Amino acid sequence: MSTDLLRPLGPEHLELVRAWRNSPAVAQYMYTAEPISAEQQQAWYARMSQDSSVQYWLIYYQDRPVGVANLYAISARNRSCYWAFYLGEENLQGSGLGAKVELAVLEYVFEELKLNKLSCEVFTTNEKVVAMHEKFGFRREAYFRQHIYKGKVFLDVVGLAMLRREWQQVRDTLRPRPRG
């Protein structure tokens, strides 16, 4: 996928992505919050670049990178994958950009990759993101109690997913209407 909104993540973006990932605003929503070194970032990119079960993009807004979106655990056999995203620029929270990213990923997963299921996991405390996924038609499938140990506490996680047939039922209502 290469669009004005989502563009492939390249090695030239690694330090920007590392800065976002190490920021408290982003790290609070990640399963791990330990600072990532430049060497760790390089090693991650080397592994990720060779892994066909993942895809990473930079999110662009007004022609500048502002976040990351990715697919992972892509399974051709099961025709499924997981996805995640974050905005590294805090001032864009609530801008509607997350919804645009979600729509672009849904279209890519179901229309281009022809997968049957798209899943995600979100901390239960991240109520806005859970609500956004549900607004798009994701359904809660799991509740993982004390799933992640972070900051000396156990955190609960909700698992959400959308099936291809559910996407087909809602896609026309989610796509922007042509102006005219």
For the chain, state the CA radius of gyration. 16
Q: What is the pLDDT of residue 46?
A: 96
The string of pLDDT tens digits covering residues 84-119 is 999 998 777 767 899 999 999 999 999 999 999 999
The string of pLDDT tens digits covering residues 110-149 is 999 999 999 999 999 999 999 999 999 999 999 999 999 9
Between β-strands 80-87 and 117-123, what pairing exists: parallel, antiparallel or unpaired? parallel
The percent of residues in the chain predicted with pLDDT above 70, rounded, is 95
6-174 CATH choice from 3.40.50.800, 3.40.630.30, 3.40.50.620, 3.40.50.970: 3.40.630.30
Task: Name the residue ranges covered by the structural domains of the chain.
Answer: 6-174
Claim: this prediction has a pTM higher than 0.85: yes
The string of pLDDT tens digits covering residues 31-54 is 988 999 999 999 999 999 999 999
The pLDDT-based confidence of 176 (bands split at 50, 70, 90) is confident
Between 39 and 177, the higher pLDDT residue:
39
Rounded mean pLDDT of the chain? Answer: 93
The two three-digit tokens of residue 129, written as one number:
């993101």
